[in-house]
Amino acid sequence: MFTTLHPRQVEYSIIVWCNPKKRKDTYIQEPTYELPYLLTREQASKFLGIDPKSFDKYIRASDDLERFMIGRQERYTVSSISKFVKTHSI
């Protein structure tokens, strides 16, 4: 689960597991990483946690996804990807 802190920074949530045999909770903090404001196809697919080919087939093919063109290359913002996912979720 992603928690957006700033348009350029994404942080993973803390995952808690309870082992019934040991009765001890384990906390794992995954690393925080920064993303550029305009994401490439690979960065956008990594943000969503899907394969770049799946991003091309199911998300990038839609005209509803807002994109920014730099020459002939498409770039996406985190907010436009999040908005697309929210509007197309079942």
Q: Are 33 and 3 in contact (CB under 8 A)?
A: no
Task: List average pLDDT for each run of 10 residues in the chain, which is 90 residues long.
Answer: 48 48 55 82 93 94 93 94 92
Residue ranges of domains in the chain: 2-88
Query: At 35, phi and psi to the nearest 5?
Result: -115, 150
pLDDT tens-digit series, residues 55-69: 999 999 999 999 999
Q: Give the pLDDT score at 16.
A: 46
Residue appearing with tokens 């920014």 = 68
pTM greater than 0.95 (yes/no): no
Q: Give the pLDDT score at 4.
A: 45
Task: Supply the DSSP symbol for 86.
Answer: H
